[in-house]
Structure 1
Amino acid sequence: MPTVRDIEQALFALAPKDLAMSWDNVGQLLGDPDTEVSRVLVALDITEAVADEALEKGCQLIVSHHPVMNCKWLPVQTVRSDTPQGHLLLKLLRSGVSAACMHTNLDIAEGGVNDRLAQALELIDPGPLGDPEGLCRVGTLATPMALADFARSVQKALHANGVRFADAGKLVSKVAVGGGACGDYEDFAIQAGCDTFVTSDLTYHTFLDAKGKGINLIDAGHFPTEDPVCEALVSYLTARFPELTVTKSASHREVIQYLVKD
């Protein structure tokens, strides 16, 4: 059976480590590299529910997009059972479950997060947007449509609980996508001549300025815009290691709910 190290190297073949941003934390972050693996669970995040699911399914490895430890937003100063992060890390370590996380390298990589997002939205000929990191993608619709209709199609395609959008008064034809929190790349979408940008975690002021900047905005949520890559990881690992049982988490899903005005 392959080891955790073997699987980590296969993941780096898909999403090379040197693509990751300087602040990021990618690769095997927990466990013994020499552990043999027969079952893998794939999830966008490693939560308590995902950890419990991995234990119930007898998995030796969890592969996730978001790092289980990342000093950018949650510094690891202690590992204590009376803190949420420490409790999760100790549960995994004591159970012998390893974690391999592919984050910004998988965002940027060919066939990664943003290519899968473009594919889910059925964009034609998606390619790099032109941002310095090579993160976002841009493509066109087969047929231009009104923003409200496109927003509904985005919600359906990504199985989102809801979407937020701002209308700049343009038909949707040339679309930029950035899975997760890519609002900082809006100006690159404008420079590329896009009429619409699909991403997540947009601020009030970004929406407020959309009409003046001349670009439609759709915030489809962090989880929905990135989750399509999980099925891609399942397919990739199954093809590389036919002897493995690789499954996508059934417990991890969108946590944001929307209350719609009557």
Structure 2
Amino acid sequence: MRISEITQHIESIAPLAYQESYDNAGLLVGSPSDDVSNALICLDVTEAVIDEAITEGFQLIIAHHPLIFSGIKKLNGKNEVERCLLKAIKNDIAIYAAHTNLDSVHGGVNSKICEKIGLTNCQILAPAKNQLKKLVTFIPTEQAQSVQQAVFEAGAGHIGNYDSCGFSLNGEGSFRGNENTNPFVGEKGELHTEKEVRFETIFPANKQRNVISALLSAHPYEEVAYDIFSLDNQFETVGAGMVGELPQAMDEVGFLQMVKKQFGCGVIRHSPLFGKNIQKVAVCGGSGSFLIRQAINSGADIFITGDLKYHQFFEAEGKIILADIGHFESEQYTKEVFYELLTKKFPKFAIRLSGINTNPINYLI
């Protein structure tokens, strides 16, 4: 199987366009056209993981955290990143990462955290902005249905749990082609009017190329008139963090003890407790301090994340419990996300979870 088949499937769920500007998700080592027969899944790419791949004969490593975050000017093995790259290249091991793009989608990192806690009615905590566009075009009445269907199949028209969403308005269009035209209807050099449907629908910005390609292929006109508008609407199914509800409320200490056990935390750092029950829970895998305000505004009783700094605990302001369970601990089940995503699509492709604990933080108990 080619690497591109695997990466394209991952990116159909978590498009690279959804990654943060600082991120470096994607294929970091190897060629998309390379053939591989197996893959090793990990959270972090370390020398121990590379050695595991070499020993076990894995040709592809799929990680959550990118091995390369910043530019590399030399490759002489002076640090772990360079040593990992050298070993991978020498042993023909490809490396792929899906990071903040996998954080930002339903079914990704935060969905798995919600699943492990047992939350229901889960929604994106901070929906993305500037990720939606609107297409407006004009189609001859008889061809309207087929063109609309082609546009929908290319990825347009999804709103929440609904698909094929669009609006049509009947009207009349006019045009006149010059001597270099071959009009679908009417005669060149003559003004023509045609019964048309004004059709509009929305689509994710990252699908624009596919949507417009489908429109142009399905539309009967030589020259297709269409407009694209950028929208300020929030993209409710894409964004940072998630928030959901426990089926039954739990007392604060009992809830934190459950989370500590479920995520194998050496310790949980938290802001003052209120002596109240926990019902609504906000989560963000990894470093989630930037979502404290959104977690409060969501009405959550507690916000589960990692990497909180001392002064950030003051931001709770008696309105929410902030709980730092650790960066690694919050994201450790991301390996399961990859495994489930790939085995469902490629049931005969050999996939294994790395047995290496890559958590760089240890606790003295």
Give the TM-score normalised by the residue count of structure 2. 0.67
Q: Pick from 73, 79, 82 the counterpart of residue 78 of structure 2.
A: 82
Identity, % of aligned positions:
35
Contact 1:79 1:85 in 2 (8 A): no
Aligned partners of 2:254, 2:45: CA distance in 1, in Å? 34
What is the CA-CA distance between 1:222 and the residue it aligns to? Answer: 0.7
Q: 2:221 maps to which residue?
A: none
Q: Secondary structure at the match of 1:5?
A: helix
Q: 1:60 maps to which residue?
A: 59
1:204–1:131 distance in 2 versus 1, CA, 3 Å: farther
Q: 1:153 maps to which residue?
A: 258
Q: 2:351 maps to which residue?
A: 246
Aligned partners of 1:80, 1:237: CA distance in 2, in Å? 34
2:118 is the alignment partner of 1:122: yes
For these two proteins, the number of residue pairs brought into alignment is 255
Q: 1:208 maps to which residue?
A: 314
Aligned partners of 1:126, 1:150: CA distance in 2, in Å? 18
Q: 2:99 maps to which residue?
A: 103
What is the CA-CA distance between 1:213 and the residue it aligns to? Answer: 4.1
Aligned partners of 1:176, 1:188: CA distance in 2, in Å? 9
RMSD: 1.5
Aligned partners of 1:252, 1:55: CA distance in 2, in Å? 17
Q: Which runs of 5+ in 2 are unaligned?
A: 130-238
2:111 is the alignment partner of 1:6: no
Moved more, 20-29 or 247-256: 247-256
2:301 is the alignment partner of 1:195: yes
Contact 1:42 1:247 in 2 (8 A): yes
Paired letter, 2:282: A
Moved more, 24-33 or 251-260: 251-260
Moved more, 100-109 or 157-166: 157-166
The structure whose residues are more often strand, as a share, is 2
Aligned partners of 1:109, 1:17: CA distance in 2, in Å? 11
Aligned partners of 2:98, 2:280: CA distance in 1, in Å? 29
Q: Secondary structure at the match of 2:286?
A: coil
Cα deviation per residue 1:200-219 (whole Å; 9 max; x = unaligned)?
Answer: 00011112342x24210111
Contact 2:249 2:278 in 1 (8 A): yes
Q: Pick from 263, 269, 275 the counterpart of residue 164 of structure 1.
A: 269
Moved more, 137-146 or 109-118: 137-146
Aligned partners of 1:232, 1:107: CA distance in 2, in Å? 11
Aligned partners of 2:16, 2:315: CA distance in 1, in Å? 36
Aligned partners of 1:243, 1:140: CA distance in 2, in Å? 36
Paired letter, 1:222: H
What is the CA-CA distance between 1:67 and the residue it aligns to? Answer: 0.5
Moved more, 46-55 or 168-177: 168-177
Aligned partners of 1:184, 1:85: CA distance in 2, in Å? 27
Q: 2:33 maps to which residue?
A: 34
Paired letter, 2:68: M
1:146–1:253 distance in 2 versus 1, CA, 3 Å: farther
Aligned partners of 2:358, 2:66: CA distance in 1, in Å? 17
Q: 2:167 maps to which residue?
A: none
Q: 2:335 maps to which residue?
A: 230
What is the CA-CA distance between 1:168 and the residue it aligns to? Answer: 4.0
Cα deviation per residue 1:85-125 (whole Å; 9 max; x = unaligned)?
Answer: 21111110111000110011000122000111111111121
Cα deviation per residue 1:18-61 (whole Å; 9 max; x = unaligned)?
Answer: 11112221111101222211110000110111111111111110
Contact 2:46 2:358 in 1 (8 A): no
Moved more, 7-16 or 196-205: 7-16
Paired letter, 1:94: K
Contact 1:161 1:256 in 2 (8 A): no
Q: 2:285 maps to which residue?
A: 179
Contact 2:287 2:327 in 1 (8 A): yes
Cα deviation per residue 1:157-208 (whole Å; 9 max; x = unaligned)?
Answer: 1222322122241431111000000111000010111110000000111123
**Post-superposition, which runs of at least 4 consecutive aligned residues in structure 1 deviate over 6 A?**
none
Q: Secondary structure at the match of 2:34?
A: coil
Give the TM-score normalised by the residue count of structure 1. 0.92
